Amino acid sequence: IMAIVVGCQSKEQNQSTEVGQISISEIPLEKPMDAEIKHFDLVAKKETWNIKGTSFEAWTYNGTIPGEEIRVLEGDWVKVNLKNELDEPVTIHWHGMVLPNVMDGVAGITQNAVQPGDTFSYQFNALEPGTYWYHSHQNAFEQIDRGLYGALIVEPKEKSYDKDYVLMLDEWTIGENNRGMMNMMGDGGTPGEMDSQMLYQTFSVNGKSAPNIKPINVNFGETVRLRIINAGYQKHVLYLNDHPYRVAAIDGKDLANATLTSDVLMVAPGERIDLEFTENKKKDWYIDSPNAVKESEDIQIPVNISGIEEKSDASYRDEQNLIMIDMTNQGNMNPIIDNIIQKPDVEYTMDLSAGMGMMQRGMSYTINGETFPDTEPIQVKKGDLVKVTINNNSMLDHPMHLHGHYFQVISKNGLSLVNPLVKDLINIEPHEQYEILFIADNPGDWLFHCHDLLHATGGMVTAVKYN
Ligand code: C2O
Ligand code: CU
């Protein structure tokens, strides 16, 4: 619809305003004087891609899966020119980034989709360092599935690590029947016949399966940050084969005092988990997935160590002792709301269900019995403290993602969480209940939806609307 004008904004316009006890900082609409400009060109186009010996036509940003990495420094002004060379409209959504509503990239909500042959210029201030990602938000279920996604990394000015690696996880339907890609929505398949958990047979890390996954190359003694991003619609489980690590950040936000663990890690669709480990084992090893046979065959990320003599390629695993790390015990460095005693201005209860037959084809995935766009929006005013209670009444996981804001997870299954966790996506397992709080500090219309995009396509979407 519109492009924002780049000019210079003085510091004074960018100060905080106080609303009750909550301080709200303004999201910069224009380039702050001292911000450096980082420019990227992304072309949405078809490309032949090969996973496990099978070639297929992928949809990509700049010809690769994941698309070209966007890596900037905290404080940078990011400009991305999108050119659409596909036959269908696309957008780019900056998942996890708090930015002005017009830059959010949601077709039909914050902009018109970019038509074939057209261009669109996105720009925003990358204020908060962290792991983010970008993906199309037009026909997203199919477009992300075909490869329209990439990593967006905002490096901190001061680093706690020597090297960092991005691991983007995804899953595919290439294989024996060689459908190339799933196209369940358009080619006669019925989306509701099965859940997305059952659709895929091939798993990838940065667009490749073992043995073609690029290794992580580490020098003995180095601290490595792994930025794990789940771009798929299934949760993925990773195991570092007994190497001690600490969870450094979740959804782009650094954690306070995460202790060392060697537990198994679960990453929900759309979620980001950063971890750090210091390489001090005298061997080469790999990160893999103990989740399911197929997944552990495909997801094997070699970690190659140099600067040490003795090597072996053995990997070991004590299947008996695999413990899943409890994310809700990990507290953030900077909670967004210190004083939770304050009464929320808005309370909204979200009951998530899945059922047959409400949509034209197959399953529907509902919020309070409705499918988008008939779901009731969360109506807020700027400055409101908003509490959302999410109940999962279905037998499936629902990774719920809020655009344009971070929220604080305050309780799980009725128990308050001592260590506040600040996220933009929370995976709700069957029959779980979470309460979350956020400050309405970023005016516009913002989606709040399930990031299993089969569910979102089937209706599990609502919006936060500012009055
Ligand atoms: Cu990752 Cu609505 O988005
Ligand atoms: Cu869902």
What ipTM does the predicted assembly reach?
A: 0.98
The CA–CA distances, whole Å, from 35 to 122, 345, 395, 442 equal: 16, 35, 47, 21
User: Which residue is closest in CA terms to ligand 1's atom 1?
Assistant: 95
Q: Determine if ligand 1 sits within 6 Å of the CB of residue 207.
A: no
Residue 217 C-alpha to ligand 1 middle, in angstroms?
A: 31
Task: Report the C-alpha gap between 323 and 273 in whole angstroms.
Answer: 17
Residue 150 C-alpha to ligand 1 middle, in angstroms?
A: 13
- Which atom of ligand 1 is closest in space to residue 95's alpha carbon? 1
Ligand number nearest to the C-alpha of 149: 1
- Asked whether 457 and 141 are in contact (CB, 8 A), the reply is yes
Ligand number nearest to the C-alpha of 141: 1
Task: Report the C-alpha gap between 246 and 223 in whole angstroms.
Answer: 11
Task: Report the C-alpha gap between 401 and 107 in whole angstroms.
Answer: 17
What is the strand order of the sheet 300-306 is part of? 216-219, 300-306, 285-288
- Asked whether 29 and 68 are in contact (CB, 8 A), the reply is no
Q: Determine if ligand 1 sits within 6 Å of the CB of residue 107.
A: no
Task: Report the C-alpha gap between 403 and 423 in whole angstroms.
Answer: 11
- Asked whether 163 and 224 are in contact (CB, 8 A), the reply is yes
Residue 463 C-alpha to ligand 1 middle, in angstroms?
A: 12
User: Which residue is closest in CA terms to ligand 1's atom 3?
Assistant: 95
Residue 95 C-alpha to ligand 1 middle, in angstroms?
A: 6
- Nearest residue to 271 via CA among 303, 237, 294: 237
Query: Where does residue 186 rank: exposed (0-12), middle (13-18), buried (19+ CB within 10 A)?
Result: exposed
Ligand number nearest to the C-alpha of 426: 2
Ligand number nearest to the C-alpha of 354: 2
- Which residues, 6 or more positions from 236, have their beta carbon under 8 angstroms from its beta carbon? 169, 203, 230, 266, 267, 289, 291, 295, 299
Residue 367 C-alpha to ligand 2 middle, in angstroms?
A: 10
- Which atom of ligand 1 is closest in space to residue 403's alpha carbon? 2
Residue 372 C-alpha to ligand 2 middle, in angstroms?
A: 13
Q: Dihedral of the CA atoms 329, 295, 232, 189 (nearest 10)?
A: -140
Residue 163 C-alpha to ligand 2 middle, in angstroms?
A: 34
Q: Which two tokens stand for residue 266?
A: 């679960």
Q: Which domains does the chain have, with CATH numbers?
A: 11-156 (2.60.40.420), 165-328 (2.60.40.420), 346-466 (2.60.40.420)
Tokens 């210029």, located at residue: 121
Q: Quote the pLDDT of residue 193.
A: 37
- Which atom of ligand 1 is closest in space to residue 106's alpha carbon? 2
Residue 172 C-alpha to ligand 1 middle, in angstroms?
A: 19
Low pLDDT (below 50) residues in the chain: 1-22, 176-195, 358-360
Q: Determine if ligand 1 sits within 6 Å of the CB of residue 455.
A: no
Task: Report the C-alpha gap between 452 and 428 in whole angstroms.
Answer: 11
Q: Quote the pLDDT of residue 305.
A: 86
Ligand number nearest to the C-alpha of 430: 2
Q: Determine if ligand 1 sits within 6 Å of the CB of residue 363.
A: no
Q: Quote the pLDDT of residue 179.
A: 43
Q: Determine if ligand 1 sits within 6 Å of the CB of residue 95.
A: yes
Residue 229 C-alpha to ligand 1 middle, in angstroms?
A: 13
Task: Report the C-alpha gap between 124 and 27 in whole angstroms.
Answer: 9
Q: Determine if ligand 1 sits within 6 Å of the CB of residue 135.
A: yes
Query: Where does residue 324 rank: exposed (0-12), middle (13-18), buried (19+ CB within 10 A)?
Result: exposed
Q: Quote the pLDDT of residue 320.
A: 60
Q: Give, for 297, the enclosing helix (H) or strand (E).
A: helix 293-298
- Which atom of ligand 1 is closest in space to residue 270's alpha carbon? 1
Ligand number nearest to the C-alpha of 110: 1
Q: Determine if ligand 1 sits within 6 Å of the CB of residue 272.
A: no
Residue 420 C-alpha to ligand 1 middle, in angstroms?
A: 23
